[in-house]
Chain A
Amino acid sequence: MLMEVRGLTHVYSAGTPFEKIAVDGLDLDLEAGTVVGLIGHTGSGKSTLIQHLNALLKPTSGAVLLHGEDIFASKTSMYKTRFRVGLVFQYPEYQLFEETVYRDIAFGPKNQKLPDEQIDIRVRGAMAFVGLPEDILEKSPLDLSGGQKRRVAIAGVLAMDPELLILDEPTAGLDPAGREELLQNLFHWREAMEATILLVTHDMSAAARCDSLVVLDRGRAVMRGAPAEVFAHGETLQSLGLDLPEAAHIAMLLRERGVDIPSDVYTLDRLREAILALRTRKEGAAC
Protein backbone atom coordinates (compact mmCIF):
# COMPACT_ATOMS: atom_id res chain seq x y z
CA MET A 1 0.00 0.00 0.00
CA LEU A 2 1.42 3.39 -1.01
CA MET A 3 -0.49 5.52 1.44
CA GLU A 4 -2.79 4.75 4.33
CA VAL A 5 -4.87 7.37 6.09
CA ARG A 6 -6.12 6.23 9.49
CA GLY A 7 -8.85 7.98 11.46
CA LEU A 8 -7.83 11.40 10.20
CA THR A 9 -9.63 14.24 11.95
CA HIS A 10 -9.04 17.94 11.48
CA VAL A 11 -10.84 20.56 13.53
CA TYR A 12 -10.47 24.25 12.66
CA SER A 13 -10.49 26.86 15.46
CA ALA A 14 -10.91 24.18 18.12
CA GLY A 15 -12.34 25.48 21.38
CA THR A 16 -13.85 28.67 19.92
CA PRO A 17 -17.41 29.38 18.80
CA PHE A 18 -16.13 29.08 15.21
CA GLU A 19 -15.12 25.44 15.70
CA LYS A 20 -15.56 23.42 12.55
CA ILE A 21 -14.84 19.75 11.94
CA ALA A 22 -13.49 19.65 8.39
CA VAL A 23 -12.35 16.03 8.28
CA ASP A 24 -14.00 13.54 10.58
CA GLY A 25 -12.28 10.22 11.33
CA LEU A 26 -11.48 9.46 7.72
CA ASP A 27 -9.82 6.24 6.51
CA LEU A 28 -8.36 6.07 3.03
CA ASP A 29 -6.09 3.63 1.21
CA LEU A 30 -4.19 4.58 -1.91
CA GLU A 31 -2.81 1.63 -3.79
CA ALA A 32 0.36 2.21 -5.80
CA GLY A 33 -0.20 2.66 -9.52
CA THR A 34 -3.87 3.58 -9.43
CA VAL A 35 -5.85 6.71 -10.20
CA VAL A 36 -8.22 7.49 -7.37
CA GLY A 37 -10.91 10.13 -7.74
CA LEU A 38 -12.01 12.17 -4.74
CA ILE A 39 -15.41 13.77 -5.22
CA GLY A 40 -17.61 15.79 -2.93
CA HIS A 41 -19.40 19.14 -2.99
CA THR A 42 -17.80 22.41 -1.87
CA GLY A 43 -16.98 22.35 1.83
CA SER A 44 -16.98 18.57 2.12
CA GLY A 45 -13.39 18.62 3.39
CA LYS A 46 -11.55 17.67 0.21
CA SER A 47 -9.06 20.51 0.28
CA THR A 48 -8.36 20.07 3.99
CA LEU A 49 -7.86 16.34 3.52
CA ILE A 50 -5.34 16.61 0.70
CA GLN A 51 -3.19 19.11 2.57
CA HIS A 52 -2.61 16.43 5.19
CA LEU A 53 -1.32 13.95 2.65
CA ASN A 54 1.84 15.97 1.98
CA ALA A 55 2.19 17.16 5.57
CA LEU A 56 1.18 20.78 4.98
CA LEU A 57 -1.48 20.51 7.68
CA LYS A 58 -1.12 18.53 10.87
CA PRO A 59 -4.13 16.46 11.83
CA THR A 60 -5.98 17.04 15.09
CA SER A 61 -5.90 13.27 15.47
CA GLY A 62 -5.20 10.28 13.26
CA ALA A 63 -2.26 9.29 11.11
CA VAL A 64 -1.02 9.33 7.52
CA LEU A 65 1.35 6.53 6.56
CA LEU A 66 3.51 6.62 3.44
CA HIS A 67 4.89 3.13 2.73
CA GLY A 68 3.91 2.28 6.29
CA GLU A 69 5.81 5.18 7.85
CA ASP A 70 4.18 8.05 9.72
CA ILE A 71 4.82 11.22 7.69
CA PHE A 72 4.38 13.44 10.77
CA ALA A 73 7.09 11.56 12.73
CA SER A 74 9.62 14.41 12.52
CA LYS A 75 10.18 17.77 10.84
CA THR A 76 12.53 16.12 8.36
CA SER A 77 10.02 13.46 7.41
CA MET A 78 7.34 16.12 6.99
CA TYR A 79 9.62 18.15 4.73
CA LYS A 80 10.70 15.15 2.68
CA THR A 81 7.11 14.07 2.19
CA ARG A 82 6.44 17.27 0.24
CA PHE A 83 8.70 15.99 -2.56
CA ARG A 84 7.35 12.45 -2.53
CA VAL A 85 3.73 13.58 -2.54
CA GLY A 86 3.26 16.33 -5.12
CA LEU A 87 0.30 18.61 -4.51
CA VAL A 88 -1.16 20.81 -7.24
CA PHE A 89 -3.56 23.33 -5.75
CA GLN A 90 -6.66 24.69 -7.40
CA TYR A 91 -5.82 27.41 -9.95
CA PRO A 92 -2.09 26.72 -9.58
CA GLU A 93 -1.28 29.35 -12.22
CA TYR A 94 -1.50 32.05 -9.53
CA GLN A 95 1.57 30.72 -7.74
CA LEU A 96 4.03 31.33 -10.61
CA PHE A 97 6.69 33.82 -9.60
CA GLU A 98 10.02 33.30 -11.33
CA GLU A 99 11.41 35.38 -14.17
CA THR A 100 11.37 32.52 -16.64
CA VAL A 101 9.30 29.40 -17.13
CA TYR A 102 12.45 27.31 -16.76
CA ARG A 103 13.31 28.71 -13.35
CA ASP A 104 9.76 28.37 -12.13
CA ILE A 105 9.58 24.69 -13.00
CA ALA A 106 13.07 24.22 -11.51
CA PHE A 107 11.97 25.67 -8.16
CA GLY A 108 10.86 22.32 -6.72
CA PRO A 109 13.85 20.25 -7.93
CA LYS A 110 16.18 23.01 -6.70
CA ASN A 111 14.66 22.77 -3.24
CA GLN A 112 15.32 19.03 -3.48
CA LYS A 113 19.03 20.00 -3.83
CA LEU A 114 19.46 18.12 -7.08
CA PRO A 115 22.53 18.75 -9.26
CA ASP A 116 22.00 21.16 -12.18
CA GLU A 117 22.15 18.51 -14.94
CA GLN A 118 19.51 16.49 -13.12
CA ILE A 119 17.31 19.60 -12.75
CA ASP A 120 17.65 20.27 -16.47
CA ILE A 121 16.47 16.75 -17.32
CA ARG A 122 13.56 17.04 -14.89
CA VAL A 123 12.44 20.43 -16.24
CA ARG A 124 12.52 19.36 -19.88
CA GLY A 125 10.86 16.06 -19.04
CA ALA A 126 8.03 17.76 -17.14
CA MET A 127 7.54 20.25 -20.01
CA ALA A 128 7.14 17.35 -22.43
CA PHE A 129 4.63 15.58 -20.21
CA VAL A 130 2.32 18.60 -20.03
CA GLY A 131 2.74 19.26 -23.74
CA LEU A 132 4.54 22.61 -23.63
CA PRO A 133 6.97 23.57 -26.43
CA GLU A 134 10.57 24.15 -25.34
CA ASP A 135 10.73 27.60 -26.91
CA ILE A 136 8.75 29.13 -24.07
CA LEU A 137 11.34 28.07 -21.47
CA GLU A 138 12.98 31.50 -21.44
CA LYS A 139 9.73 33.48 -21.47
CA SER A 140 8.22 35.06 -18.39
CA PRO A 141 5.45 32.84 -17.02
CA LEU A 142 3.26 35.92 -16.70
CA ASP A 143 3.27 36.43 -20.48
CA LEU A 144 1.70 33.05 -21.22
CA SER A 145 -1.95 32.27 -21.86
CA GLY A 146 -4.11 30.97 -19.00
CA GLY A 147 -3.96 27.37 -20.18
CA GLN A 148 -0.19 27.48 -20.64
CA LYS A 149 0.28 28.98 -17.17
CA ARG A 150 -1.69 26.11 -15.68
CA ARG A 151 0.54 23.63 -17.50
CA VAL A 152 3.69 25.35 -16.31
CA ALA A 153 2.42 25.20 -12.73
CA ILE A 154 1.60 21.50 -13.02
CA ALA A 155 4.98 20.86 -14.64
CA GLY A 156 6.55 22.53 -11.61
CA VAL A 157 5.13 19.78 -9.42
CA LEU A 158 5.79 16.94 -11.90
CA ALA A 159 9.44 18.01 -12.01
CA MET A 160 9.81 16.92 -8.38
CA ASP A 161 9.09 13.40 -9.61
CA PRO A 162 6.57 12.55 -6.87
CA GLU A 163 5.37 9.02 -6.20
CA LEU A 164 1.90 10.30 -5.49
CA LEU A 165 0.46 13.25 -7.38
CA ILE A 166 -2.54 15.01 -5.91
CA LEU A 167 -4.41 17.48 -8.08
CA ASP A 168 -7.19 19.74 -6.82
CA GLU A 169 -9.59 20.45 -9.68
CA PRO A 170 -6.85 20.58 -12.32
CA THR A 171 -9.34 21.06 -15.16
CA ALA A 172 -11.42 23.85 -13.60
CA GLY A 173 -11.90 26.74 -15.99
CA LEU A 174 -10.46 24.96 -19.05
CA ASP A 175 -12.41 24.42 -22.26
CA PRO A 176 -13.48 20.83 -23.07
CA ALA A 177 -10.57 20.24 -25.46
CA GLY A 178 -8.07 21.61 -22.95
CA ARG A 179 -9.59 19.48 -20.19
CA GLU A 180 -9.31 16.33 -22.26
CA GLU A 181 -5.74 17.06 -23.27
CA LEU A 182 -4.64 17.77 -19.71
CA LEU A 183 -6.22 14.58 -18.39
CA GLN A 184 -4.58 12.56 -21.12
CA ASN A 185 -1.21 14.13 -20.33
CA LEU A 186 -1.62 13.31 -16.66
CA PHE A 187 -2.68 9.72 -17.30
CA HIS A 188 0.22 9.31 -19.67
CA TRP A 189 2.63 10.69 -17.06
CA ARG A 190 1.27 8.27 -14.46
CA GLU A 191 1.85 5.31 -16.75
CA ALA A 192 5.34 6.39 -17.75
CA MET A 193 6.46 7.11 -14.18
CA GLU A 194 4.46 4.27 -12.60
CA ALA A 195 3.14 6.81 -10.13
CA THR A 196 -0.18 7.16 -8.34
CA ILE A 197 -2.72 9.95 -8.82
CA LEU A 198 -5.33 11.29 -6.45
CA LEU A 199 -7.67 13.47 -8.48
CA VAL A 200 -10.00 15.86 -6.68
CA THR A 201 -12.70 16.84 -9.11
CA HIS A 202 -16.19 18.09 -9.77
CA ASP A 203 -15.94 17.05 -13.37
CA MET A 204 -17.74 13.72 -13.54
CA SER A 205 -16.38 12.81 -16.94
CA ALA A 206 -12.93 12.96 -15.35
CA ALA A 207 -14.14 10.99 -12.31
CA ALA A 208 -15.52 8.31 -14.61
CA ARG A 209 -12.00 7.60 -15.86
CA CYS A 210 -10.52 6.90 -12.44
CA ASP A 211 -9.83 3.36 -11.21
CA SER A 212 -11.76 3.95 -8.03
CA LEU A 213 -13.72 6.76 -6.41
CA VAL A 214 -14.17 8.08 -2.90
CA VAL A 215 -17.17 10.29 -2.17
CA LEU A 216 -16.73 12.78 0.64
CA ASP A 217 -19.52 14.44 2.58
CA ARG A 218 -19.06 16.56 5.69
CA GLY A 219 -15.58 15.19 6.24
CA ARG A 220 -16.54 11.53 5.99
CA ALA A 221 -16.13 9.03 3.18
CA VAL A 222 -19.74 8.11 2.45
CA MET A 223 -19.16 5.93 -0.60
CA ARG A 224 -16.23 4.25 -2.25
CA GLY A 225 -15.66 1.76 -5.03
CA ALA A 226 -15.17 1.50 -8.76
CA PRO A 227 -16.90 4.22 -10.81
CA ALA A 228 -19.54 1.70 -11.95
CA GLU A 229 -20.46 0.94 -8.33
CA VAL A 230 -20.53 4.57 -7.24
CA PHE A 231 -22.48 5.87 -10.23
CA ALA A 232 -25.04 3.09 -9.76
CA HIS A 233 -26.23 5.10 -6.73
CA GLY A 234 -27.30 8.11 -8.76
CA GLU A 235 -29.96 9.31 -6.32
CA THR A 236 -27.57 9.25 -3.37
CA LEU A 237 -24.96 11.21 -5.31
CA GLN A 238 -27.53 13.80 -6.31
CA SER A 239 -28.74 14.13 -2.73
CA LEU A 240 -25.12 14.93 -1.79
CA GLY A 241 -25.19 17.79 -4.28
CA LEU A 242 -23.10 15.98 -6.89
CA ASP A 243 -23.62 15.48 -10.60
CA LEU A 244 -23.57 12.25 -12.53
CA PRO A 245 -21.70 11.63 -15.75
CA GLU A 246 -24.08 12.41 -18.62
CA ALA A 247 -24.45 8.77 -19.65
CA ALA A 248 -25.15 7.64 -16.09
CA HIS A 249 -27.72 10.41 -15.75
CA ILE A 250 -29.51 9.39 -18.96
CA ALA A 251 -29.42 5.74 -17.85
CA MET A 252 -30.95 6.71 -14.52
CA LEU A 253 -33.76 8.71 -16.15
CA LEU A 254 -34.47 5.79 -18.50
CA ARG A 255 -34.60 3.36 -15.59
CA GLU A 256 -37.06 5.67 -13.83
CA ARG A 257 -39.31 5.37 -16.89
CA GLY A 258 -39.15 1.60 -16.71
CA VAL A 259 -36.54 1.00 -19.40
CA ASP A 260 -34.29 -1.90 -18.47
CA ILE A 261 -30.76 -0.39 -18.43
CA PRO A 262 -28.17 -2.02 -16.14
CA SER A 263 -27.17 0.20 -13.20
CA ASP A 264 -23.44 0.00 -13.92
CA VAL A 265 -23.70 1.97 -17.18
CA TYR A 266 -21.86 5.29 -16.95
CA THR A 267 -20.09 5.80 -20.28
CA LEU A 268 -21.71 6.80 -23.54
CA ASP A 269 -20.34 3.71 -25.28
CA ARG A 270 -21.83 1.36 -22.73
CA LEU A 271 -25.11 3.27 -22.82
CA ARG A 272 -25.34 2.90 -26.59
CA GLU A 273 -24.63 -0.81 -26.32
CA ALA A 274 -27.27 -1.22 -23.63
CA ILE A 275 -29.90 0.59 -25.72
CA LEU A 276 -28.99 -1.39 -28.86
CA ALA A 277 -29.17 -4.60 -26.83
CA LEU A 278 -32.69 -3.62 -25.77
CA ARG A 279 -33.72 -3.14 -29.37
CA THR A 280 -32.37 -6.51 -30.51
CA ARG A 281 -34.14 -8.16 -27.60
CA LYS A 282 -37.38 -6.39 -28.56
CA GLU A 283 -37.01 -7.41 -32.20
CA GLY A 284 -36.25 -10.96 -31.05
CA ALA A 285 -39.45 -10.92 -28.99
CA ALA A 286 -41.51 -9.54 -31.91
CA CYS A 287 -40.49 -12.36 -34.25
Chain B
Amino acid sequence: MLKDITLGQYFPGDTVVHRLDPRTKLILTVVYIVALFTANTWLGYALVLAALLSVAALGRIPPKAMLRGMKPLVFIIVFTGILNLFFTAADDVIFQWRFIKITGTGLRNAVSMILRVLLLVSGTFLLTYTTSPLAITDGMERLLTPLKRLRVPVYELSLMMSIALRFIPTLIEETDRIMSAQKARGADMETGSLIQRAKALLPLLIPLFVSAFRRADELATAMECRCYNGGEGRTRMKTLHMERRDLIAFLLGAALLAGVIALRRLGI
Protein backbone atom coordinates (compact mmCIF):
# COMPACT_ATOMS: atom_id res chain seq x y z
CA MET B 1 0.00 0.00 0.00
CA LEU B 2 2.86 2.34 0.79
CA LYS B 3 4.50 1.34 -2.44
CA ASP B 4 1.75 3.14 -4.33
CA ILE B 5 3.01 6.52 -3.21
CA THR B 6 5.02 8.03 -6.02
CA LEU B 7 7.34 10.83 -5.06
CA GLY B 8 8.70 13.04 -7.76
CA GLN B 9 6.07 11.36 -9.97
CA TYR B 10 8.46 11.36 -12.89
CA PHE B 11 7.00 9.92 -16.10
CA PRO B 12 9.92 8.64 -18.14
CA GLY B 13 9.69 9.61 -21.79
CA ASP B 14 11.63 10.90 -24.74
CA THR B 15 9.74 13.95 -25.92
CA VAL B 16 11.08 17.43 -26.62
CA VAL B 17 9.94 18.50 -23.18
CA HIS B 18 11.79 15.62 -21.54
CA ARG B 19 14.96 16.40 -23.46
CA LEU B 20 15.07 20.06 -22.53
CA ASP B 21 17.89 21.02 -20.21
CA PRO B 22 16.65 20.92 -16.60
CA ARG B 23 17.98 24.46 -16.13
CA THR B 24 15.77 25.66 -18.97
CA LYS B 25 12.78 23.95 -17.45
CA LEU B 26 13.46 25.38 -14.00
CA ILE B 27 13.80 28.93 -15.34
CA LEU B 28 10.76 28.56 -17.56
CA THR B 29 8.73 27.31 -14.63
CA VAL B 30 9.59 30.53 -12.82
CA VAL B 31 8.71 32.53 -15.95
CA TYR B 32 5.42 30.66 -16.13
CA ILE B 33 4.58 31.47 -12.52
CA VAL B 34 5.43 35.15 -13.04
CA ALA B 35 3.24 35.20 -16.16
CA LEU B 36 0.41 33.52 -14.24
CA PHE B 37 0.45 36.14 -11.50
CA THR B 38 0.84 39.00 -13.95
CA ALA B 39 -2.27 37.93 -15.83
CA ASN B 40 -5.37 39.71 -14.53
CA THR B 41 -7.78 39.37 -17.43
CA TRP B 42 -9.68 36.36 -18.71
CA LEU B 43 -7.76 36.52 -21.96
CA GLY B 44 -4.52 36.50 -19.96
CA TYR B 45 -5.56 33.36 -18.11
CA ALA B 46 -6.56 31.79 -21.40
CA LEU B 47 -3.09 32.48 -22.78
CA VAL B 48 -1.42 30.89 -19.75
CA LEU B 49 -3.77 27.90 -19.97
CA ALA B 50 -3.00 27.50 -23.67
CA ALA B 51 0.74 27.50 -22.88
CA LEU B 52 0.21 24.87 -20.18
CA LEU B 53 -1.89 22.59 -22.38
CA SER B 54 0.48 22.75 -25.31
CA VAL B 55 3.50 21.85 -23.15
CA ALA B 56 1.51 18.98 -21.59
CA ALA B 57 0.58 17.75 -25.07
CA LEU B 58 4.19 18.04 -26.29
CA GLY B 59 5.38 16.09 -23.25
CA ARG B 60 2.67 13.45 -23.82
CA ILE B 61 1.48 13.70 -20.23
CA PRO B 62 -1.74 11.71 -19.90
CA PRO B 63 -4.56 14.08 -18.82
CA LYS B 64 -5.56 11.50 -16.22
CA ALA B 65 -2.20 11.86 -14.51
CA MET B 66 -2.58 15.64 -14.38
CA LEU B 67 -6.02 15.32 -12.80
CA ARG B 68 -4.85 12.72 -10.32
CA GLY B 69 -2.17 15.11 -9.13
CA MET B 70 -4.87 17.65 -8.26
CA LYS B 71 -6.63 15.34 -5.84
CA PRO B 72 -4.85 16.38 -2.65
CA LEU B 73 -5.62 20.02 -3.50
CA VAL B 74 -9.38 19.68 -3.64
CA PHE B 75 -9.72 20.90 -0.07
CA ILE B 76 -7.62 24.04 -0.61
CA ILE B 77 -9.40 24.83 -3.85
CA VAL B 78 -12.86 24.46 -2.32
CA PHE B 79 -11.77 26.48 0.72
CA THR B 80 -10.37 29.41 -1.31
CA GLY B 81 -13.42 29.30 -3.55
CA ILE B 82 -15.90 29.52 -0.67
CA LEU B 83 -13.89 32.16 1.14
CA ASN B 84 -13.76 34.42 -1.91
CA LEU B 85 -17.32 33.73 -2.94
CA PHE B 86 -19.04 34.57 0.33
CA PHE B 87 -16.71 36.97 2.08
CA THR B 88 -15.86 39.54 -0.54
CA ALA B 89 -17.19 42.94 0.46
CA ALA B 90 -18.55 44.76 -2.59
CA ASP B 91 -21.75 46.50 -3.70
CA ASP B 92 -22.64 44.57 -6.84
CA VAL B 93 -24.83 41.99 -5.09
CA ILE B 94 -26.25 39.39 -7.44
CA PHE B 95 -27.75 36.97 -4.96
CA GLN B 96 -28.92 37.36 -1.37
CA TRP B 97 -30.64 34.99 1.04
CA ARG B 98 -30.71 35.99 4.70
CA PHE B 99 -27.10 36.57 5.66
CA ILE B 100 -25.64 34.82 2.62
CA LYS B 101 -24.60 37.35 0.03
CA ILE B 102 -22.85 36.74 -3.27
CA THR B 103 -21.35 39.66 -5.12
CA GLY B 104 -20.20 39.88 -8.71
CA THR B 105 -16.70 40.80 -7.56
CA GLY B 106 -16.71 37.85 -5.17
CA LEU B 107 -17.71 35.46 -7.91
CA ARG B 108 -15.02 36.81 -10.20
CA ASN B 109 -12.42 36.62 -7.41
CA ALA B 110 -13.38 33.07 -6.54
CA VAL B 111 -13.10 31.85 -10.13
CA SER B 112 -9.80 33.59 -10.75
CA MET B 113 -8.27 32.35 -7.47
CA ILE B 114 -9.28 28.78 -8.27
CA LEU B 115 -7.90 29.17 -11.76
CA ARG B 116 -4.65 30.50 -10.40
CA VAL B 117 -4.19 27.66 -7.92
CA LEU B 118 -4.99 25.05 -10.59
CA LEU B 119 -2.68 26.60 -13.16
CA LEU B 120 0.10 27.09 -10.64
CA VAL B 121 0.04 23.51 -9.41
CA SER B 122 -0.36 21.89 -12.81
CA GLY B 123 2.49 24.02 -14.16
CA THR B 124 4.90 22.81 -11.51
CA PHE B 125 3.62 19.27 -12.04
CA LEU B 126 4.76 19.52 -15.64
CA LEU B 127 8.28 20.08 -14.38
CA THR B 128 8.31 17.06 -12.08
CA TYR B 129 6.47 14.87 -14.56
CA THR B 130 9.00 15.44 -17.32
CA THR B 131 12.22 15.84 -15.33
CA SER B 132 13.77 13.17 -13.15
CA PRO B 133 14.44 14.26 -9.56
CA LEU B 134 18.17 13.87 -10.14
CA ALA B 135 18.08 16.10 -13.20
CA ILE B 136 16.20 18.74 -11.20
CA THR B 137 18.83 18.60 -8.47
CA ASP B 138 21.57 18.90 -11.07
CA GLY B 139 19.90 21.87 -12.70
CA MET B 140 19.33 23.58 -9.37
CA GLU B 141 22.94 23.17 -8.43
CA ARG B 142 24.12 24.76 -11.65
CA LEU B 143 21.65 27.59 -11.38
CA LEU B 144 22.65 28.33 -7.80
CA THR B 145 26.40 28.22 -8.53
CA PRO B 146 26.71 32.04 -8.42
CA LEU B 147 25.62 31.91 -4.78
CA LYS B 148 28.90 30.18 -3.96
CA ARG B 149 30.47 33.64 -3.94
CA LEU B 150 28.23 34.41 -0.99
CA ARG B 151 29.55 31.25 0.71
CA VAL B 152 26.32 29.35 0.27
CA PRO B 153 27.29 25.65 0.29
CA VAL B 154 25.51 24.98 -2.99
CA TYR B 155 27.29 21.75 -3.75
CA GLU B 156 26.63 20.26 -0.33
CA LEU B 157 22.98 21.28 -0.48
CA SER B 158 22.44 19.60 -3.80
CA LEU B 159 24.27 16.49 -2.62
CA MET B 160 21.99 16.36 0.40
CA MET B 161 19.02 16.65 -1.87
CA SER B 162 20.11 13.85 -4.18
CA ILE B 163 20.88 11.57 -1.25
CA ALA B 164 17.48 12.31 0.28
CA LEU B 165 15.77 11.52 -3.02
CA ARG B 166 17.77 8.35 -3.40
CA PHE B 167 16.73 7.07 0.02
CA ILE B 168 13.01 7.79 -0.18
CA PRO B 169 12.14 4.45 -1.86
CA THR B 170 14.49 2.60 0.50
CA LEU B 171 12.85 4.11 3.55
CA ILE B 172 9.37 3.41 2.21
CA GLU B 173 10.33 -0.22 1.75
CA GLU B 174 11.79 -0.31 5.24
CA THR B 175 8.62 1.22 6.70
CA ASP B 176 6.57 -1.45 5.01
CA ARG B 177 8.77 -4.18 6.40
CA ILE B 178 8.88 -2.94 9.98
CA MET B 179 5.13 -2.37 9.90
CA SER B 180 4.55 -5.96 8.82
CA ALA B 181 6.97 -7.24 11.44
CA GLN B 182 5.19 -5.37 14.25
CA LYS B 183 1.79 -6.40 12.94
CA ALA B 184 3.03 -9.98 13.05
CA ARG B 185 3.48 -9.45 16.79
CA GLY B 186 -0.06 -8.21 17.12
CA ALA B 187 0.57 -4.46 16.84
CA ASP B 188 -2.66 -2.72 15.90
CA MET B 189 -2.04 0.50 14.01
CA GLU B 190 -5.42 1.03 12.44
CA THR B 191 -8.01 1.10 15.20
CA GLY B 192 -8.41 2.94 18.49
CA SER B 193 -8.51 6.59 19.48
CA LEU B 194 -6.14 9.15 18.02
CA ILE B 195 -3.82 8.94 21.05
CA GLN B 196 -3.81 5.15 20.93
CA ARG B 197 -2.96 5.22 17.27
CA ALA B 198 -0.19 7.75 17.81
CA LYS B 199 1.23 5.50 20.53
CA ALA B 200 0.92 2.52 18.22
CA LEU B 201 3.23 4.29 15.77
CA LEU B 202 6.18 4.18 18.19
CA PRO B 203 7.07 0.55 17.35
CA LEU B 204 7.30 1.71 13.74
CA LEU B 205 9.02 5.08 14.15
CA ILE B 206 11.78 4.06 16.55
CA PRO B 207 13.22 1.24 14.41
CA LEU B 208 12.80 3.45 11.35
CA PHE B 209 14.85 6.26 12.89
CA VAL B 210 17.46 3.85 14.17
CA SER B 211 17.88 2.37 10.72
CA ALA B 212 17.94 5.76 9.00
CA PHE B 213 20.83 6.80 11.23
CA ARG B 214 22.57 3.49 10.65
CA ARG B 215 22.22 3.92 6.89
CA ALA B 216 23.52 7.47 7.05
CA ASP B 217 26.52 6.26 9.03
CA GLU B 218 27.22 3.46 6.59
CA LEU B 219 26.90 5.78 3.60
CA ALA B 220 29.30 8.28 5.17
CA THR B 221 31.84 5.55 5.85
CA ALA B 222 31.51 4.18 2.33
CA MET B 223 32.02 7.65 0.86
CA GLU B 224 35.05 8.31 3.02
CA CYS B 225 36.53 4.94 2.10
CA ARG B 226 36.47 6.05 -1.51
CA CYS B 227 38.18 9.31 -0.56
CA TYR B 228 35.14 11.33 -1.46
CA ASN B 229 35.41 15.07 -1.26
CA GLY B 230 32.85 17.25 -2.90
CA GLY B 231 32.81 20.50 -4.76
CA GLU B 232 36.12 21.76 -6.11
CA GLY B 233 37.51 20.04 -9.16
CA ARG B 234 34.85 17.38 -9.35
CA THR B 235 33.67 16.44 -12.85
CA ARG B 236 30.40 14.82 -13.80
CA MET B 237 29.47 11.82 -15.85
CA LYS B 238 26.57 13.67 -17.43
CA THR B 239 27.30 17.31 -18.14
CA LEU B 240 24.44 19.61 -18.95
CA HIS B 241 24.40 21.25 -22.38
CA MET B 242 22.14 23.95 -23.69
CA GLU B 243 20.89 23.14 -27.20
CA ARG B 244 18.92 24.91 -29.86
CA ARG B 245 15.65 23.61 -28.46
CA ASP B 246 16.48 25.33 -25.17
CA LEU B 247 16.89 28.64 -27.01
CA ILE B 248 13.53 28.15 -28.73
CA ALA B 249 11.93 27.28 -25.39
CA PHE B 250 13.31 30.50 -23.86
CA LEU B 251 11.96 32.54 -26.78
CA LEU B 252 8.52 30.97 -26.37
CA GLY B 253 8.64 31.64 -22.63
CA ALA B 254 9.54 35.27 -23.27
CA ALA B 255 6.68 35.51 -25.77
CA LEU B 256 4.23 34.20 -23.18
CA LEU B 257 5.39 36.73 -20.61
CA ALA B 258 5.30 39.57 -23.15
CA GLY B 259 1.81 38.56 -24.24
CA VAL B 260 0.48 38.50 -20.69
CA ILE B 261 2.06 41.89 -19.91
CA ALA B 262 0.60 43.37 -23.09
CA LEU B 263 -2.87 42.06 -22.20
CA ARG B 264 -2.54 43.52 -18.71
CA ARG B 265 -1.54 46.92 -20.10
CA LEU B 266 -4.40 46.89 -22.56
CA GLY B 267 -6.77 45.64 -19.87
CA ILE B 268 -8.51 43.06 -22.02
- Chain A residues at the B interface, C-beta cutoff of 8 Å: 51, 54, 56, 79, 82-83, 86-87, 89, 92, 94-97, 107-108, 111-112, 142, 156-157, 160
- Chain B residues at the A interface, C-beta cutoff of 8 Å: 174, 177-178, 180-188, 202-203, 206-207, 210-211
A89 touches B177 (CB 8 A): yes
Which residue of A89, A96, A112 contacts B184 across the interface (Cβ within 8 Å)?
A: A89
Contacts A89-B177, A94-B178, A97-B202: A157 and B184 contacting too (C-beta < 8 A)?
Answer: yes
Nearest-neighbour CB distance to chain A for B115, whole angstroms, equals 32
A56 to B187, CA, bound (A): 11
Interface centre among B186, B188, B210 (most CB of A within 10 A): B186
Which residue of B174, B186, B188, B207 contacts A108 across the interface (Cβ within 8 Å)?
A: B186
Main secondary structure of the interface of A (DSSP, over half): helix
B186 touches A160 (CB 8 A): yes
Contacts A89-B177, A89-B180, A95-B178: A82 and B186 contacting too (C-beta < 8 A)?
Answer: yes
Interface centre among A79, A86, A94 (most CB of B within 10 A): A94
A157 touches B185 (CB 8 A): yes
Q: Which residues of A contact B187 (CB under 8 A)?
A: 107, 111
Which residue of B174, B184, B206 contacts A87 across the interface (Cβ within 8 Å)?
A: B184
B211 touches A94 (CB 8 A): yes
B184 touches A54 (CB 8 A): yes
B177 touches A56 (CB 8 A): no
Which residue of A56, A96, A97, A160 contacts B183 across the interface (Cβ within 8 Å)?
A: A56
A83 to B174, CA, bound (A): 23
Nearest-neighbour CB distance to chain B for A172, whole angstroms, equals 14
A112 to B184, CA, bound (A): 12
A96 to B180, CA, bound (A): 13
Nearest-neighbour CB distance to chain A for B169, whole angstroms, equals 14
The closest CB in chain A to the CB of B206 belongs to A97
Interface centre among B177, B182, B184, B186 (most CB of A within 10 A): B184
B206 touches A160 (CB 8 A): no
Nearest-neighbour CB distance to chain B for A80, whole angstroms, equals 9
Interface centre among A89, A97, A107 (most CB of B within 10 A): A97
Which residue of A94, A111, A142 contacts B185 across the interface (Cβ within 8 Å)?
A: A111
B188 touches A94 (CB 8 A): no
Contacts A97-B206, A97-B207: A92 and B186 contacting too (C-beta < 8 A)?
Answer: no
A112 touches B186 (CB 8 A): yes
A79 to B191, CA, bound (A): 12
Contacts A56-B180, A89-B180, A95-B178: A111 and B207 contacting too (C-beta < 8 A)?
Answer: no
A95 touches B186 (CB 8 A): no
Q: Which residues of A contact B188 (CB under 8 A)?
A: 79, 111
A82 touches B210 (CB 8 A): no
Q: Which residues of B contact A157 (CB under 8 A)?
A: 184-185
Contacts A107-B203, A111-B188: A95 and B182 contacting too (C-beta < 8 A)?
Answer: yes
Nearest-neighbour CB distance to chain A for B4, whole angstroms, equals 8
Q: Which residues of B contact A82 (CB under 8 A)?
A: 183-186
Q: Which residues of A contact B202 (CB under 8 A)?
A: 97
Q: Which residues of B contact A142 (CB under 8 A)?
A: 210
Q: Which residues of A contact B178 (CB under 8 A)?
A: 94-95
Which residue of B177, B180, B185 contacts A107 across the interface (Cβ within 8 Å)?
A: B185
B181 touches A95 (CB 8 A): yes
The closest CB in chain B to the CB of A50 belongs to B184
A87 to B187, CA, bound (A): 13
Q: Which residues of B contact A108 (CB under 8 A)?
A: 185-186
B180 touches A51 (CB 8 A): yes
Q: Which residues of A contact B174 (CB under 8 A)?
A: 94
